[in-house]
Amino acid sequence: MATLEIRDLHVSIETDQGSKEILRGVNLTINSGETHAIMGPNGSGKSTLAYTIAGHPRYTVDSGSITLDGADVLAMSIDERARAGLFLAMQYPVEIPGVTVSNFLRTAKTALDGEAPALRSWIKDLRGSMEALRMDSSFAERNVNEGFSGGEKKRHEIVQLELLKPSIAVLDETDSGLDVDALKIVSEGVNRVKENTGLGVLLITHYTRILRYITPDFVHVFVDGRVAEEGGPELAERLENEGYDRYLTGSTVG
Amino acid sequence: MQQHPHGPGSPVPVQTRNERFASAAHDDFPAVTGRELEWKLTPVEKIRDLIDGELDGSAFPAEVSSAPGVTVEWVAMDDARVGSAGLAEERAAANAWSSAQQALTVTLTSEEAVAVTIDRAGADRAPRAAHTVITAAPNARGIVVIDNRGSARLTENVEIVAGAGSDLTVVSLQEWDAESVHLSSQFARVDKDARLKHVVVSLGGAIVRVKPSVHLAGSAADGQLLGLYFADSGQHLEQRVYVHHIAPQTISRVTYKGALNGAGARTVWVGDVLIGRDATGTDSYEQNRNLVLSDGTRADSIPNLEIETGDIAGAGHASATGRFDDEQLFYLRSRGIDEQEARRLVVLGFLLEVVQKIGAPELEQRLIAAIETELDAVAVV
Ligand SMILES: Nc1ncnc2c1ncn2[C@@H]1O[C@H](COP(=O)(O)OP(=O)(O)OP(=O)(O)O)[C@@H](O)[C@H]1O
Ligand SMILES: [Mg+2]
């Protein structure tokens, strides 16, 4: 049982025009087994939240806290956060020339477990996960994300989720750029991991479509750097019909 | 990493290469001032003896492995094979040419792929000259590795002839000791339908300056030029590549990658591509990328593209020198891989892209190990 707790989080970035505040007091608690959906307009700070949880150096935390089972996440380096059980499926996965998928995954698994995985079961797990996400086995010998299509990159993120077994995962627009079949395959992958490991999920999305496959326990409306409203799955339906206008009137945009 | 891709139409400094003077005689070249385009990026004062001094022209110690369909001979410099692929284009190369008393010739005739190693375990520190001619007969296939280790103060010319329809790989591997100096002009002629893969790997030596110049002389000749270098503190590694598309439908791909680490680590890459008047329908692309691993390094990267015909299939070049890609490091670290290991993976991956293209598994393994040794010396910044 893991709990990720975000309290009054304020985050800014350095721009050419000086420091710019993006997150303005985010509060969120995610427990193992729970699925939280975050929906919000472009530029509202969703990816900023995701990257801040993962520890991207571009973002400065001005105040507030992030803890995982009470441990101070903000004091941890990027890789320490991963080893503590956090995972970020990125909106734009990065290409790494010359590093094969199989080498990358084995290195990551070894780093997370503190020892190299037993070869036979590892190969079996890798094959199984790639097969389940309909990634041809030839991807294992290709360089990480290099030349992958948008959808292939996203499926590769979920292969990692399945193999690396984090306790809490942030999925940043994993559904964007997926065709209807891939959306189903990816959703099934996430559900399988949830079932097997009790994963807690923070799912950032623009579309209710994925929420038909991955049922959220909570939906948070993210506007202008903070959570503007919280509710159950019905809130997502309402957003789909009404848009974000209701939240934007009166607040400054951009 | 910062990118500076240029399209073929963009303003790029152009130096007309085909009019460059060539001769075997040292005295035919004017004295080197160090301000010439040819020399201004080279520490000429440290190599005066090789440019102008008297050289030991006796056979440079080498052991050549035997293979079926391969003949190895030392021949006099008036042998017909000498000069079949090119002629010295600057004073240090001409000094070597006129000083060498004999040439090592390695001739491949087998249509079954063969592998030959010219094993040079070094010599004394006296300035020396050498001349080598590697020939693939028409339709012959094989790989020749010039394996340079130990100590040397050497200026040399290497000629490479890829006969019609042949498929030849030549690897010049510089793993000299830390004091060695090596200047190597390498001339290649690629005939009709032949493929030449030319690989320069420079890891060891104080000053290493390799100049591959490849002439795609027959129609549909294909030149793939690969390079890999890793400069440590105080090392000067220079590579000057020239590809001359002479015949129609010729193809060239130039990929050089380098890493620099430590104060005074210095690399130079100059890549000249000339697409001649008759070289219609040609396709060329050259790129150089440098990864800077510490402060105090300097990497020069100068692509030149000159096109004398309007009818080409493609021509492009790219050059980039930069620090670690933070996004790559972030991605790896977000999967639990610690910073040092992430950096190691990124650098190794960066350089492996070239290694993976050599196509000689044993050599590739050896190079990976050598690069890993270089990386052990890289501190976490
Ligand atoms: N380098 C930068 N300079 C200026 N503004 C920036 C910079 N990086 C991010 N921002 C701004 O930060 C805000 C939040 O961006 P973020 O990527 O977190 O939004 P998002 O909610 O994920 O949007 P989307 O739905 O489009 O993915 C945006 O307004 C963006 O323009
Ligand atoms: Mg986003």
3-state helix, strand, coil in chain B (%, to 5): 15, 45, 40
Residue A108 three-state SS: helix
For residue B368, give the chain A residue with the closest CA: A98
Say how many CB pairs under 8 Å bridge A and B: 81
What is the rounded average pLDDT of the residues B177-186?
97
Verify whether ligand 1 is closer than 6 Å to residue A60 (CB atom).
Answer: no
Give pLDDT tens digits for A229-242: 999 999 998 988 88
Task: Tell me the best of A10, A16, A20, A24 to mutate to test the pocket of ligand 1, counting ligand atoms within 8 Å of each CB and taking the most.
Answer: A20
Q: Which residues contact A132 (CB under 8 A, 6 or more apart)?
A: A162, A185, A188, A189, A192
Chain A contacts to B (CB-CB under 8 A): 54-57, 77-79, 81-83, 87-88, 90, 93-99, 103-104, 107-108, 111-112, 143-144, 160, 164
Going by pLDDT thresholds of 50, 70 and 90, the confidence category of residue B324 is confident
pLDDT of residue A246: 87
Would residue A107 count as lying in a domain?
A: no
Find chain B residues with C-beta within 8 A of A56's C-beta.
Answer: 330
User: Distance between CA atoms of B317 and B300, rounded to whole angstroms?
Assistant: 15
Kindly tell me if the per-residue pLDDT of B73 is higher than 60: yes
What is the rounded average pLDDT of the residues A196-200?
97
Of A12, A19, A20, A15, whose CA–CA distance to A60 is shortest?
Answer: A12
Residue with tokens 């980039």: B320
Q: Whose CA is nearest to atom 18 of ligand 1?
A: A45
Domain span including residue A14: 3-92+160-246
Q: From the candidates A107, A141, A172, which should be mutated to test the interface with B, based on the most B CB atoms within 10 A?
A: A107
Please judge whether A94 and B331 are an interchain contact, meaning their C-beta atoms are less than 8 angstroms apart: yes
Give pLDDT tens digits for A71-104: 999 999 999 999 999 999 999 999 998 899 999 9
Residue with tokens 């004398």: B308
For residue B325, give the chain A residue with the closest CA: A96
B276 CA from centroid of ligand 1 (Å)? 49
Kindly tell me if the per-residue pLDDT of A249 is higher than 80: no
User: Distance between CA atoms of A218 and A235, rounded to whole angstroms?
Assistant: 9
Q: Whose CA is nearest to atom 30 of ligand 1?
A: A43
User: Distance between CA atoms of B284 and B303, rounded to whole angstroms?
Assistant: 13
CB-CB neighbours of B329 under 10 Å:
21
Please judge whether B338 and A57 are an interchain contact, meaning their C-beta atoms are less than 8 angstroms apart: no
Going along chain B, which residue ranges are E strands?
63-64, 70-76, 102-108, 114-120, 128-136, 141-150, 153-162, 167-176, 181-190, 195-204, 207-216, 222-231, 236-245, 251-260, 266-275, 283-292, 298-307, 314-322
Kindly tell me if the per-residue pLDDT of B59 is higher than 50: yes
Would residue A149 count as lying in a domain?
A: no
Residue with tokens 């510089």: B174
Verify whether ligand 1 is closer than 6 Å to residue A48 (CB atom).
Answer: yes
Would residue A240 count as lying in a domain?
A: yes
Q: Tell me the CATH number at A32.
A: 3.40.50.300
Index of the ligand 1 atom closest to the CA of residue A40: 21
User: Distance between CA atoms of B73 and B59, rounded to whole angstroms?
Assistant: 11
Which contiguous run of DSSP H or E holds residue A159?
A: helix A150-164
pLDDT of residue B123: 87
pLDDT of residue B17: 56
pLDDT of residue A250: 55
Residue B97 three-state SS: helix
Determine the distance in angstroms separating the CA of B377 from the nearest CA of chain A, rounded to an integer.
Answer: 20
Q: Whose CA is nearest to atom 28 of ligand 1?
A: A43
What is the rounded average pLDDT of the residues A23-28?
97
B348 CA from centroid of ligand 2 (Å)? 31
Q: How many domains does chain A have?
A: 1
Please judge whether B336 and A57 are an interchain contact, meaning their C-beta atoms are less than 8 angstroms apart: no
Q: Which residues contact A25 (CB under 8 A, 6 or more apart)?
A: A8, A9, A10, A64, A225, A226
Residue B160 three-state SS: strand
Kindly tell me if the per-residue pLDDT of B378 is higher than 90: no
Give pLDDT tens digits for A213-222: 999 999 999 9
For residue B83, give the DSSP letter: T
For residue B339, give the chain A residue with the closest CA: A79
Would residue A133 count as lying in a domain?
A: no
Please judge whether B333 and A97 are an interchain contact, meaning their C-beta atoms are less than 8 angstroms apart: no
Q: Is A153 exposed, middle or buried (0-12, 13-18, 19+ CB in 10 A)?
A: buried
User: Distance between CA atoms of B134 and B128, rounded to whole angstroms?
Assistant: 20
For residue A95, give the chain B residue with the closest CA: B328
pLDDT of residue B18: 58
Q: Tell me which amino acid residue A53 is.
A: I
Contact B153/B128 with Cβ under 8 angstroms? yes
Kindly tell me if the per-residue pLDDT of B11 is higher than 70: no
pLDDT of residue B10: 37
Assigned token pair, B193 = 């339908």
Would residue A120 count as lying in a domain?
A: no
Find chain A residues with C-beta within 8 A of B367's C-beta.
Answer: none
Classify residue A181 as left (phi > 0), alpha (psi -120 to 50) or beta. Answer: alpha
Of B291, B287, B308, whose CA–CA distance to B299 is shortest?
Answer: B291
Contact B116/B135 with Cβ under 8 angstroms? no
Paired strand residues for B154? B128, B182
pLDDT of residue B317: 94
Would residue A115 count as lying in a domain?
A: no
Q: From the candidates A94, A101, A146, which should be mutated to test the interface with B, based on the most B CB atoms within 10 A?
A: A94
Question: DSSP alpha helices (H): ranges in B189-268?
Answer: none
Please judge whether B349 and A143 are an interchain contact, meaning their C-beta atoms are less than 8 angstroms apart: yes
Assigned token pair, B301 = 């990267």
What is the rounded average pLDDT of the residues A48-69?
97
Find chain B residues with C-beta within 8 A of A112's C-beta.
Answer: 335-336
Residue scoring higher pLDDT (B16 or A67): A67
Going along B52-96, which residue ranges are E strands?
63-64, 70-76
Please judge whether B336 and A94 are an interchain contact, meaning their C-beta atoms are less than 8 angstroms apart: no
Rounded percentage of chain A residues whose pLDDT exceeds 70: 98
